[in-house]
Protein backbone atom coordinates (compact mmCIF):
# COMPACT_ATOMS: atom_id res chain seq x y z
CA UNK A 1 0.00 0.00 0.00
CA UNK A 2 1.27 3.45 -0.89
CA UNK A 3 0.35 6.91 0.18
CA UNK A 4 0.06 9.96 -2.02
CA UNK A 5 3.23 12.03 -1.69
CA UNK A 6 1.76 15.53 -2.21
CA UNK A 7 0.58 15.85 1.40
CA UNK A 8 2.70 17.62 4.02
CA UNK A 9 2.45 15.53 7.19
CA UNK A 10 4.32 17.97 9.44
CA UNK A 11 1.04 19.72 10.31
CA UNK A 12 -0.60 16.34 11.07
CA UNK A 13 2.31 15.28 13.28
CA UNK A 14 2.38 18.55 15.22
CA UNK A 15 -1.41 18.55 15.75
CA UNK A 16 -1.59 14.88 16.81
CA UNK A 17 1.33 15.30 19.25
CA UNK A 18 -0.18 18.49 20.72
CA UNK A 19 -3.55 16.74 21.13
CA UNK A 20 -1.87 13.75 22.79
CA UNK A 21 0.02 15.98 25.21
CA UNK A 22 -3.21 17.76 26.12
CA UNK A 23 -5.03 14.45 26.73
CA UNK A 24 -2.18 13.10 28.87
CA UNK A 25 -1.91 16.32 30.89
CA UNK A 26 -5.68 16.27 31.51
CA UNK A 27 -5.56 12.63 32.63
CA UNK A 28 -2.35 13.02 34.64
CA UNK A 29 -0.44 10.36 32.68
CA UNK A 30 2.96 10.51 31.02
CA UNK A 31 3.48 10.71 27.28
CA UNK A 32 7.00 9.24 27.31
CA UNK A 33 9.53 9.78 24.54
CA UNK A 34 8.94 6.24 23.31
CA UNK A 35 5.15 6.73 23.20
CA UNK A 36 5.71 10.00 21.32
CA UNK A 37 7.98 8.22 18.85
CA UNK A 38 5.33 5.59 18.15
CA UNK A 39 2.70 8.30 17.77
CA UNK A 40 4.96 10.33 15.48
CA UNK A 41 5.34 7.34 13.13
CA UNK A 42 1.55 6.88 13.02
CA UNK A 43 0.87 10.60 12.51
CA UNK A 44 3.35 10.75 9.62
CA UNK A 45 0.98 8.70 7.47
CA UNK A 46 -2.71 8.26 6.91
CA UNK A 47 -2.08 4.63 6.02
CA UNK A 48 -2.59 2.36 9.06
CA UNK A 49 0.66 0.74 10.24
CA UNK A 50 1.22 -2.60 11.92
CA UNK A 51 3.20 -2.85 15.14
CA UNK A 52 6.08 -4.33 13.15
CA UNK A 53 5.96 -1.48 10.59
CA UNK A 54 6.33 0.94 13.52
CA UNK A 55 9.09 -1.17 15.09
CA UNK A 56 11.03 -1.31 11.81
CA UNK A 57 10.73 2.45 11.26
CA UNK A 58 11.85 3.30 14.79
CA UNK A 59 14.70 0.78 14.77
CA UNK A 60 15.90 2.16 11.42
CA UNK A 61 16.03 5.65 12.99
CA UNK A 62 17.73 4.31 16.13
CA UNK A 63 20.33 2.42 14.13
CA UNK A 64 21.25 5.61 12.24
CA UNK A 65 21.77 7.33 15.61
CA UNK A 66 23.74 4.41 17.08
CA UNK A 67 21.04 3.70 19.68
CA UNK A 68 19.95 0.28 20.91
CA UNK A 69 17.15 -1.46 19.06
CA UNK A 70 13.63 -1.68 20.48
CA UNK A 71 11.87 -4.98 21.15
CA UNK A 72 8.35 -5.66 19.85
CA UNK A 73 6.97 -5.68 23.40
CA UNK A 74 7.93 -2.02 23.85
CA UNK A 75 5.93 -1.07 20.75
CA UNK A 76 2.90 -3.08 21.89
CA UNK A 77 3.02 -1.43 25.32
CA UNK A 78 3.12 2.03 23.75
CA UNK A 79 0.26 1.13 21.39
CA UNK A 80 -1.81 -0.20 24.31
CA UNK A 81 -1.31 3.05 26.24
CA UNK A 82 -2.18 5.21 23.22
CA UNK A 83 -5.34 3.20 22.52
CA UNK A 84 -6.38 3.25 26.19
CA UNK A 85 -6.27 7.04 26.20
CA UNK A 86 -8.03 7.50 22.84
CA UNK A 87 -4.97 8.88 21.08
CA UNK A 88 -4.85 6.20 18.36
CA UNK A 89 -7.23 3.63 16.91
CA UNK A 90 -6.78 0.01 15.93
CA UNK A 91 -8.06 -0.90 12.49
CA UNK A 92 -9.25 -4.42 13.26
CA UNK A 93 -9.58 -5.64 9.68
CA UNK A 94 -5.95 -4.75 8.95
CA UNK A 95 -4.43 -5.48 12.37
CA UNK A 96 -2.96 -1.99 12.14
CA UNK A 97 -3.05 1.34 13.94
CA UNK A 98 -3.74 4.94 12.96
CA UNK A 99 -3.47 8.23 14.86
CA UNK A 100 -6.77 9.79 15.93
CA UNK A 101 -7.51 12.70 13.60
CA UNK A 102 -10.52 14.04 15.45
CA UNK A 103 -8.70 15.94 18.20
CA UNK A 104 -9.04 15.74 21.99
CA UNK A 105 -12.64 16.98 22.08
CA UNK A 106 -13.85 14.00 20.01
CA UNK A 107 -12.56 11.57 22.64
CA UNK A 108 -15.04 12.88 25.18
CA UNK A 109 -18.25 12.95 23.14
CA UNK A 110 -20.68 10.37 24.42
CA UNK A 111 -22.87 8.46 22.02
CA UNK A 112 -20.80 8.92 18.88
CA UNK A 113 -19.57 6.13 16.65
CA UNK A 114 -16.24 6.20 14.83
CA UNK A 115 -16.32 5.45 11.12
CA UNK A 116 -13.21 4.60 9.12
CA UNK A 117 -13.25 4.83 5.34
CA UNK A 118 -10.45 2.51 4.18
CA UNK A 119 -9.09 2.76 0.63
CA UNK A 120 -8.50 -0.68 -0.92
CA UNK A 121 -5.92 0.70 -3.36
CA UNK A 122 -3.63 3.14 -1.50
CA UNK A 123 -4.43 1.97 2.04
CA UNK A 124 -5.31 5.37 3.50
CA UNK A 125 -7.82 5.67 6.32
CA UNK A 126 -10.16 8.61 6.87
CA UNK A 127 -11.80 8.96 10.28
CA UNK A 128 -15.18 10.48 11.08
CA UNK A 129 -17.39 10.71 14.16
CA UNK A 130 -21.15 10.25 13.85
CA UNK A 131 -23.63 11.03 16.60
CA UNK A 132 -26.55 9.77 14.48
CA UNK A 133 -24.86 6.41 13.81
CA UNK A 134 -23.94 6.20 17.51
CA UNK A 135 -27.61 6.76 18.39
CA UNK A 136 -28.71 4.06 15.96
CA UNK A 137 -26.19 1.63 17.45
CA UNK A 138 -27.42 2.43 20.98
CA UNK A 139 -31.04 1.90 19.88
CA UNK A 140 -30.27 -1.45 18.25
CA UNK A 141 -28.12 -2.57 21.18
CA UNK A 142 -30.77 -1.46 23.68
CA UNK A 143 -33.35 -3.73 22.08
CA UNK A 144 -31.27 -6.77 23.04
CA UNK A 145 -29.92 -5.31 26.31
CA UNK A 146 -26.38 -5.05 24.85
CA UNK A 147 -23.95 -2.39 26.03
CA UNK A 148 -21.51 -1.39 23.24
CA UNK A 149 -18.19 -0.04 24.49
CA UNK A 150 -16.37 0.68 21.23
CA UNK A 151 -18.74 1.48 18.36
CA UNK A 152 -16.46 1.45 15.31
CA UNK A 153 -17.39 0.86 11.69
CA UNK A 154 -14.95 0.13 8.88
CA UNK A 155 -16.04 0.82 5.30
CA UNK A 156 -13.85 -0.32 2.42
CA UNK A 157 -13.77 1.30 -1.00
CA UNK A 158 -11.72 3.76 -3.07
CA UNK A 159 -10.67 7.25 -2.00
CA UNK A 160 -11.16 10.23 -4.33
CA UNK A 161 -7.55 10.19 -5.58
CA UNK A 162 -7.61 6.46 -6.39
CA UNK A 163 -10.94 6.86 -8.18
CA UNK A 164 -9.37 9.58 -10.32
CA UNK A 165 -6.37 7.34 -11.08
CA UNK A 166 -8.75 4.61 -12.23
CA UNK A 167 -10.78 7.08 -14.27
CA UNK A 168 -13.89 6.74 -12.06
CA UNK A 169 -13.84 10.14 -10.39
Evaluate whether 50 touches 95 at the Cβ level (below 8 Å).
Answer: yes
Evaluate whether 167 touches 127 at the Cβ level (below 8 Å).
Answer: no
Q: Is 162 annotated as a binding residue?
A: yes
Q: 99 in helix, strand or coil?
A: strand
Handedness of CA 133, 139, 145, 147 (dihedral sign): positive
Helix (H) or strand (E) holding 126: strand 125-130
Evaluate whether 154 touches 118 at the Cβ level (below 8 Å).
Answer: yes
Q: Is 122 annotated as a binding residue?
A: yes
Binding residues for Zn(2+): 119, 122, 159, 162
Binding residues: 119, 122, 159, 162
Amino acid sequence: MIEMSDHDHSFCIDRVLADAKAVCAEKGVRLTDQRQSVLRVLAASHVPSSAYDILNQLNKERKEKGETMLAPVSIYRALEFLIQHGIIHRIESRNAYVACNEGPDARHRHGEATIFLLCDKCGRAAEFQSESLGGLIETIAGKVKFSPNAPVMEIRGLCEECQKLEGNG
